[in-house]
Structure 1
Amino acid sequence: MSLDRTNPSTTHAVGRVETTSMLKRMLSPLTTLLFTQFLSAFADNMILFITLAMIKKYALPDFYIGVVQGAFLFAFVILAPFVGAFADKNAKSHVLLIGNLIKAIGIVCLIAGLDPAVSYAIVGIGAAVYSPAKYGILTELTASESGLLSANARMEGFTILAILTGSLAGGTLAGYSITAALAVCLALYLVSLLITFLIPKGPVNSQLHYGREMLTFFKDTRRLFADRKTRFSLIGTGSFWMSSAVFRLALIAWVPIHLAIDSLDQISMLTAITGVGIMIGALATPKLIPAAKYYNAYRFGAVMIFAMLLFPLTYMMPLAVVLLLLIGFAGGVFIVPMNSALQDEGHRMIGSGKTIAVQNMVENALMLAGVGIYTQITKMGASADNSIIGIGIALAVFVVFLSSQVKRLKQLKA
């Protein structure tokens, strides 16, 4: 029986059906996940610039920003053997909720006047708990490898948009009131926490035992590194985040010297430009790098290196903006295919949550090493230019290794 659209009651019924259908699409589990991730990541990136404002306000040494960042990363490395099993044993939507709650506690500690490094370490604990569930749940919400690639691209896009806007908000609000900026962070974590209740409870693995899983974590790590595809992805994503973390800190020191800008909100705007490029690159990835040819992503790592090495020669704002956009775009295309390849293969090998936990350990261990070295050489008086050149050289070593693996990875597909 066909619907009579000339009948007002029928028209209203059709309208209600269409509206309901549209709302279901808008509030799909994946869309809800992306929204809660955006809010949480937005607050994560506000904190770095709020902390920078606190360091300036209390006249702490400049290298202390590296100490604070290192405290955040240290939590990821230490908790890696535990959080993957925690994400797989429990509903990942519940794990997201717990992660946001711990982050909120870290903000309360900052408001209460606890040392920034200690407070930021608590936020890092929340982020370490949150991360395996954030990526692991994507395999539950998608039905194919191409769908997973698309979901990863959207996740990276929303995350980088949060980095962009969160950095801007953190630098701007902290310039007016550090307390108000921290209150906004706290509110965002709590709203993100509440939204996770809209994500359906997924499958759990109640057979997992934390003690045993912690002991097998390093076996899982060896297994992922023994596989060519997952080893390539782990090294690729780790090198990206290591270079990005150090470059971001070096850029904060570079801007006042080369562009004569000391304002915290303007510095945050410039650092956020890289986020714009990453977001564009992440969203463009499915068209540039097919899921089956993830290994070609190393070429965009080479583009990142080229742009980084031009920074010591740059003294003009327009050129700096172009280079930051180029670094971000190339970085987005560099990381998304490898993230998808790792999740797709790792999900089958050891489980999605444990795969992301291993990935987090590798990435954050490399970031912690990079930030630690940067903090030490800055304390010894190294210039921002030399730091950026060092980052480019370090990334080049990793990219050369990745390029040497491409032929063998192609043979796996043959």
Structure 2
Amino acid sequence: MTQQHQHAEATPLLSRGLVAVLLAQFLSAFADNAILVGALKLVMTLTAEKGMDALLQGSFVLPYILLAPFVGLLADALPKGRVMWLANSVKLLSGLAMLAVAWLGTAEMVSWVIVAYVLTGIGAALYSPAKYGILVQLCRPAHLVSANGLIEGSTIVAILLGFVVGGLLADVSLLGLLVLVTVCYALAVGLSLLIPRLPVVHPFDGASVITMVRGFASVVLTLFTDRQARISLLGTSLFWGAGSTLRLVLFAWVPFALALTNTSAATNLGGIVSVGIIIGAALAGTLVRLEQAPRALWAGLLIGLPLLFMGWVSTLWQAAALLVAVGVAAGFFVVPLNALLQARGQQSVGAGRAIAVQNFCENLLIAAFVGIHYLASQLLDPGQEVLGFGLLMITLMGALFISYRLTGRTHQP
């Protein structure tokens, strides 16, 4: 048995290391979502040009896609706690840059908002493989789904608070919001140093960039030829692609359907989805064991269903009830699939590499969904777009479920 596995077997679920990871993740995720609201508000203040929300989302996604061949190698070649420290330090730079633009900015400096948000994306791309990959080193296999539930639950709480608090503060003091973001990143940097120094999984062998890209392509192929890893990658990618786009859709739908024009109304509904995800993540962490993870695909079929009824909604409370249901199904769906991918990845290519591939796939889906949203917004009103979004999710999740069942007839998991 390796030193890494001996450490995990002897460690309780809520170890000092996991607590440090949870706190650092909470603060970092809170700031990630608050800075998005701040960036949107800052861009709207500096320019009236349309399409800037899509450009901002793209500037965040692009580093994930371009750095995908390298960040998994970095997460596995260095102690993961130190990688988290580096990633949070880059995010801290992004917060300081955004704050400087807000303090000094004119319309000519709008491009610097994009540059600052690219830094946020770089930090997030570095952070994710280490954040999830570290769980297999800190936790016993029996605790892996529960640890994922804690990570996902705390992340969604942070998303909820970051998005809601960001919306409220942006209407009061944009500078105050960006100061809060910067402080959160600074605290996350400090907490990352409290994570135990764990063994390196795959030492870096000095390969060239071309070799690393080829190696990444090989890792992608390895994971996609594994039935359970493939379904995990596709499922979690659909989850994040849909979730990122739903927030943009709600910003257009709320004033259209509910005649509410304040920023906080849309962010509050986005937060309501997060509440549902917390509930679903908690249920999955309690009810689903690692070997049962593919059963979560049933929950994916339910994600789009409540959106079909949004056309009959006339009050904020009705919308909130439907969006909570969306969140519960989504949380129950994604947590077991995340744990399954980490386990299958650790057995084959390393958890850090597996999560880097996951980030690559997720952000390709986010880019695709944002593109669909942009086109739909040009052709449909927001009510029609929400209905179409629900139908799209039911179709895609149904195809995912059917493909998994069909491949199961000829291949063992």
Say whether 1:200 aligns with 2:196. Answer: yes
* d(CA) in 2 for partners of 1:59, 1:328: 33
* d(CA) in 1 for partners of 2:285, 2:98: 40
Aligned to 2:150: 154
Please point out which of 25, 33, 41 is paired with 1:45.
33
Aligned length: 389
Encode CA deviations 1:74-112: one digit per residue, 9 max, x unaligned.
110111001000111111000001101111111222222
Encode CA deviations 1:114-133: one digit per residue, 9 max, x unaligned.
53222211100010001100
Q: Secondary structure of 2:299's match?
A: helix
Q: How far does residue 334 in structure 1 lie from its aligned partner after superposition?
A: 0.7
* d(CA) in 2 for partners of 1:377, 1:296: 32
Aligned to 1:3: none
* d(CA) in 1 for partners of 2:187, 2:56: 25
Alignment of 1:16-31 (within 5 A): 28-31=16-19
> CA 1:164 to 1:348, structure 2 compared with 1: closer, same or farther past 3 Å?
same
Say whether 1:103 aligns with 2:91. Answer: yes
Alignment of 1:301-312 (within 5 A): 301-312=300-311
Encode CA deviations 1:10-62: one digit per residue, 9 max, x unaligned.
xxxxxxxxxxxxxx997611111111100000000101211222233234245
Contact residue 240 and residue 395 of structure 1 kept, 8 A: no
* d(CA) in 2 for partners of 1:118, 1:381: 30
1:65 aligned partner, one-letter code: D
The normalised TM-score by structure 1 is 0.89
Say whether 1:191 aligns with 2:179. Answer: no
Alignment of 1:265-284 (within 5 A): 265-284=264-283
* d(CA) in 2 for partners of 1:403, 1:200: 39
Name the Cα RMSD after superposition. 1.9
Aligned to 1:119: 116
* d(CA) in 2 for partners of 1:409, 1:34: 36
1:118 aligned partner, one-letter code: V
Q: How far does residue 207 in structure 1 lie from its aligned partner after superposition?
A: 4.0
Q: How far does residue 67 in structure 1 lie from its aligned partner after superposition?
A: 1.3
Contact residue 106 and residue 119 of structure 1 kept, 8 A: yes
Q: Secondary structure of 1:261's match?
A: coil
Identity within the alignment, %: 34
Contact residue 236 and residue 398 of structure 1 kept, 8 A: no
* d(CA) in 2 for partners of 1:195, 1:139: 20
Q: How far does residue 375 in structure 1 lie from its aligned partner after superposition?
A: 2.5
Alignment of 1:1-400 (within 5 A): 28-113=16-101, 114=109, 115=111, 116-144=113-141, 146-204=142-200, 205-211=202-208, 212-378=211-377, 380=378, 382-400=380-398
* d(CA) in 2 for partners of 1:259, 1:279: 25
* d(CA) in 1 for partners of 2:411, 2:60: 38
Q: How far does residue 290 in structure 1 lie from its aligned partner after superposition?
A: 3.0
Q: How far does residue 293 in structure 1 lie from its aligned partner after superposition?
A: 1.9
Encode CA deviations 1:358-398: one digit per residue, 9 max, x unaligned.
000000111011112312443x3532123223322332232
* d(CA) in 1 for partners of 2:49, 2:345: 42
Greater Rg over alpha carbons, structure: 1
Encode CA deviations 1:131-184: one digit per residue, 9 max, x unaligned.
10000000000111x311110011000000000111111111111111111111
* d(CA) in 2 for partners of 1:44, 1:207: 29
Q: Unmatched 5+ residue regions in structure 1?
A: 1-23
* d(CA) in 2 for partners of 1:25, 1:289: 17
Contact residue 70 and residue 372 of structure 1 kept, 8 A: no
Aligned to 2:4: none
Q: Which stretch shifts more, 220-229 or 112-121? A: 112-121
